[in-house]
């Protein structure tokens, strides 16, 4: 149930990266242990902000594993995602490691084209800008993606297309729930 973070160390990554069928983005290693970005401030000013990738992801993961995975309503909701033989969040986490990658736009696309995250099996890629948000925001994105691991559909036109986002209402992230998010 470890969180494996795909970060380039000395220019290399030792983590296998899944190929995803997207015209807009791909899964890649985070470029380093630290990211920096210019964050807009009131009055049009910008502030250069740095974050430690591993620290931010581990902090969010501690909430997922230490709180959400032990919350009865959260586990009941995860079990409901598959009518027969559904698994709780705690069971999903116990089944093996989860690997987190960085989402990168493909040629001809920009960061604005990225979703917050995407899942391929037990691999999750996130928009790196999420690392600059509060930890609970990143935790909510991880819970949403773990709901896909549990069986929530990614098909935006399907019945219950909001099932992954609904997990937030049951997993201690009600304030992070966004109505209308599907897939």
pTM: 0.94
Which residues are bridge partners to 164 per DSSP? none
Nearest-angstrom CA–CA distance, 86 and 106: 35
DSSP category for residue 15: S
Q: Residue 62: CB partners within 8 Å, gap ≥ 6?
A: none
Nearest-angstrom CA–CA distance, 134 and 84: 36
What helix, strand, coil percent values describe the chain, rounded to 5?
Answer: 40, 20, 40
Residue among 11, 1, 6, 66 at smallest CA distance from 30: 6
139 to 8, 26, 144: CA distances (angstroms): 23, 21, 9
- Collapsing DSSP to helix, strand or coil, 8 comes out as coil
pLDDT of residue 156: 84
Identify the residue whose tokens are 């009131």. 42
- Collapsing DSSP to helix, strand or coil, 122 comes out as coil
Q: Using one digit for the tens of pLDDT, what is the confidence trace for 13-22?
A: 989 999 999 9
114 to 124, 147, 171, 174: CA distances (angstroms): 13, 19, 25, 23
pLDDT of residue 83: 62
What does each of the 183 residues of the chain score in pLDDT, given as a tens digit?
Answer: 799 999 999 889 989 999 999 999 999 999 999 999 888 888 888 889 999 999 999 999 999 999 999 999 999 999 999 765 689 999 999 999 999 999 999 999 999 999 999 999 999 999 999 999 999 999 999 999 999 999 998 888 788 889 999 999 999 999 999 998 988
pLDDT averaged over every residue in the chain? 94
Tokens of 17: 């990266």
Nearest-angstrom CA–CA distance, 40 and 47: 6
Nearest-angstrom CA–CA distance, 83 and 80: 6
Nearest-angstrom CA–CA distance, 126 and 27: 9
């Amino acid at each position: 149930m470890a969180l494996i973070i795909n970060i380039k160390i000395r220019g290399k990554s030792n983590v296998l990266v899944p190929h995803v069928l997207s015209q807009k983005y791909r899964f890649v290693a985070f470029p380093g242990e630290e990211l920096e970005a210019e964050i807009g401030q009131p009055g049009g000013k910008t502030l250069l902000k740095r974050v430690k990738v591993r620290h931010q992801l581990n902090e969010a993961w501690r909430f997922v594993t230490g709180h959400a995975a032990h919350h009865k309503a959260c586990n009941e909701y995860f079990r409901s995602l598959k009518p027969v033989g559904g698994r709780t969040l705690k069971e999903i986490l116990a089944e093996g490691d989860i690997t987190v990658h960085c989402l990168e736009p493909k040629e001809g696309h920009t960061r604005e084209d990225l979703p917050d995250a995407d899942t391929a099996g037990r691999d999750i890629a996130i928009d790196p800008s999420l690392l600059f948000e509060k930890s609970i925001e990143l935790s909510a994105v991880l819970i949403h993606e773990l709901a896909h691991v549990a069986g929530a559909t990614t098909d935006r036109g399907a019945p219950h297309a909001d099932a992954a986002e609904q997990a937030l209402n049951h997993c201690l992230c009600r304030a992070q729930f966004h109505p209308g998010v599907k897939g």
